[in-house]
Structure 1
């Protein structure tokens, strides 16, 4: 396999497990030096150990994306030992066990927490890392295909993920003068640690309504991140790309 990111530093938030770890591992395989920015110390340390055991260049930095100070400290650490960060995958967010409440049952406290992590956290991440990036790099934000089909009892989550799409478009214009691309990945329902408790009937329903009728796996998405990080997408910016087997169309 080619090492297209050899010598490049890439930050992946929320990469202690699940999709984030899949992104980090694939970018490492492609030669990148990856910063594993993860709030859970045990998960982050285990991810770093696993990547290093495979011979990859990876470093865990504990990061709470909802905290300005934590994100700033991570950005400073990420920039050490390189002449500028090549890429950022702003993957971290709150998605586990957030559904089930009607719009009038969601508490203001839960609503605010969702926005603090998913929206403010994505912005804080890019705000801190953007100035440390080299011109010509790439930022990938992570939203959700739920913004296209609006599932019920997930209003706060869908709203937060919709905000990331708008954020991506405005950021793309601001970063464009530095030839830094900003695009948004919209995963569908993907098998992993974060979704292991989802009832089987929901998996079956999702697969039955998609065009490609099978359960989505993390490796259905990691190649898309590689594409968006690489020069293969050097003239693509401000775009949203749903990867969900054709469940949603837009």
Structure 2
């Protein structure tokens, strides 16, 4: 993964990124730092989080780590509070924390405990973090939220029901939240990546990866850096009049 040179696009913006210890979340945090933002990385994995924060600091970025369980309301509230304290406020939130867990199981095979866990993290966690960060984002006067959805919710990926349903809910929540938070001058948008080459997708069968590549208008693997630009845009002043929108970033696998 490459790091872009420092830019003024998000200079001194204060941004919290969840699920940021690795994968897409870390790529977002790294790109934010490279574009002048001050970043808090939040994740459940304390061991990975420390290493990721250290890497960003070594690259010359301001980065802080906060351990959070996105499914736990008390943990989410504490995370938002720590982020605001460490950054002196909050201008942006990237709701990236999510789990898959249901991959490979049919709707008949999916168990209730797995369904509930996916919904708790992916859907309730997005709502809880948004609720916890809203006051600081409102006080900023230029607050921006980016919710990570998935193009699986646009084409209906099979054997992934809980995850697909959760990401469909995130898309719907984005539109509702955009209307609710609009009076606070907070924008809320969703990004729907395709199948990205990160640690979290290593379980996906090679045949599924090939299918994605073959069916994309841009016929190649999707990398984390392919998604970061959309997130930077949505958090920047370039998108101050863009809200309630869904941007599919998948090389043309789904054209939305």
TM above 0.5, yes or no, is yes
2:207 alignment counterpart: 201
Superimposed CA distance per residue, residues 110-160 of structure 1 (whole angstroms, 9 cap, x where no aligned partner): 111111010001111101011111122210001100111101111111101
Aligned residues: 249
- For 2:255 and 2:161, the matched residues in 1 are separated by 20
Decide whether the 8 Å contact of 2:146 with 2:191 is kept in 1: yes
Q: CA RMSD in A?
A: 1.1
1:110 alignment counterpart: 114
2:3 alignment counterpart: none
Decide whether the 8 Å contact of 1:144 with 1:186 is kept in 2: yes
1:199, distance to aligned residue in structure 2 (A): 2.5
Decide whether the 8 Å contact of 1:3 with 1:29 is kept in 2: no
Q: 1:101 aligns with which of 90, 102, 105?
A: 105
Q: Indicate the SS of the match to 2:144.
A: strand
Summarize the alignment of residues 48-67 of structure 1 with structure 2, pairs less than 5 Å apart. 48-67=53-72
2:221 alignment counterpart: 215
Superimposed CA distance per residue, residues 49-84 of structure 1 (whole angstroms, 9 cap, x where no aligned partner): 100111110000001110011111111111115453
Q: Does 1:44 align with 2:49?
A: yes
2:93 alignment counterpart: 88
The TM-score normalised by the length of structure 2 is 0.94
- For 1:247 and 1:222, the matched residues in 2 are separated by 18
Q: 1:169 aligns with which of 165, 169, 175?
A: 175
Q: Once superposed, which parts of structure 1, at least 4 consecutive aligned residues long, lie more than 4 Å away?
A: none
1:183 alignment counterpart: 189
Please, which runs of 5 or more residues in structure 1 have no aligned partner? none
The TM-score normalised by the length of structure 1 is 0.97
- For 1:115 and 1:105, the matched residues in 2 are separated by 17
Q: Does 1:121 align with 2:125?
A: yes
Q: 1:236 aligns with which of 225, 238, 242?
A: 242
